[in-house]
Amino acid sequence: MKEMNSSHALQILPYEMKGMNFYHALQLFNRRVFLEGSLAEDDFDRLSRDIVFTTGSLPLALEVIGSLLHGKPKARWEKTLDKSREIPDEKVQKTLMISYDALNDHRREIFLDVACLFTNEDICNANYTWEACEFHPEIEDLVRMSLIKIKDNNKFWMHNQLRDLGREIVHKESPKNLGKRSRLWTSEAVLDLVKTKERKEDVEALDLLGRSSHISIIHEEIERFESLRFLRLSYGTLHGDFIVCLPKLRWLSWCSPSPDFSVCLLFIQRI
């Protein structure tokens, strides 16, 4: 922050995070990749230095890439180095994509769910949902890869750049058509989409929790979300038989201002 004129007004100036000095960056990378009982550090010294150099010594990238390479053979290191050399130093998200690309389908779904829906949410609640969706949660692997973290209160935490990466991945599923994206969260454009008559068979998650004004959603509007497995709503009213019209729904969270309801959280397991 910078003090300005006699009124003591404060101006917040943007500051670009610089990379660590090379020695400290190499130490950070080695701590992540060479854990007790893993590969011999001396055998990978040149590759370690090359990877640190190509990532621009950025702490988050070093932590994520180091976690990805822990216990992996030299061939995997060399492949990762080749990919990182194709990415300009300032493109942190593209560097982080190397770890995302290494995930299997279930882990990708979980990563995107945390980025778009479950940051600061309780891990147990999310686990129930993933089990009901048969995603076979593998949270420990994502934690080991430094893609997500679990806070002391048992809630998810994700670095802002990783969260932005996940949301950008969803945005790129269909940059111009919201109804073709897998996950949607609060915005006026999303609410407008709910009211349209087009079918939204690609949408798996709809989060309208952040709204402060009352909305009303009817059976005919929500049934157009044929693949919906997650629905979170606040300050709203649901009209109709939603269980019948949402065959894939596994999470329903409903916060209503009505005196008859406070918070209703359902995990729906269909047999």
Residue 129 lies in a domain: yes
Statement to judge: residues 184 and 261 lie in one domain: yes
Confidence (pLDDT) at 115: 94
Average pLDDT rounded to a whole number, residues 124-142: 85
Confidence (pLDDT) at 3: 44
Residue that finishes a domain, picked among 55, 75, 101: 101
Statement to judge: residues 91 and 124 lie in one domain: no
Q: How far is CA 175 from CA 169, 200, 207, 231, in A?
A: 10, 15, 18, 22
Statement to judge: residues 138 and 70 lie in one domain: no
Confidence (pLDDT) at 64: 85
Statement to judge: residues 34 and 81 lie in one domain: yes
Statement to judge: residues 226 and 143 lie in one domain: no
Identify the CA nearest to 127 among candidates 249, 119, 135. Answer: 135
Confidence (pLDDT) at 190: 84
Statement to judge: residues 94 and 114 lie in one domain: no
Statement to judge: residues 262 and 211 lie in one domain: yes
Q: What is the pLDDT of residues 211-262, one digit of tens each?
A: 656 777 888 888 889 899 998 887 767 777 766 778 888 888 877 645 544 4
Residue 16 lies in a domain: no
Statement to judge: residues 43 and 91 lie in one domain: yes
Residue 154 lies in a domain: yes
Residue 11 lies in a domain: no
Tell me which residue range forms the domain holding 48.
Answer: 22-101
Question: Is 156 in contact with 139 (CB distance < 8 Å)?
Answer: no
Band of pLDDT at residue 34, cut at 50, 70 and 90: confident
Q: What is the pLDDT of residues 7-25, one digit of tens each?
A: 455 565 554 555 568 888 8
Confidence (pLDDT) at 14: 52
Statement to judge: residues 179 and 232 lie in one domain: yes
Mean per-residue pLDDT over the chain, rounded: 79
19-33, 52-66, 250-264, range with the lowest pLDDT:
250-264
DSSP string computed for 201-266: TT--EEEETT--S-EEEEHHHHTT-TT--EEEEESEEEES-HHHH-TT--EEEEE--STT-SEEEE
Residue that finishes a domain, picked among 139, 162, 185: 162
Most confident of 10-24, 28-42, 66-80, 100-114: 100-114
Statement to judge: residues 143 and 92 lie in one domain: no
Residue 30 lies in a domain: yes
Predicted TM-score (pTM) of this structure = 0.73
Domain count, the chain: 3
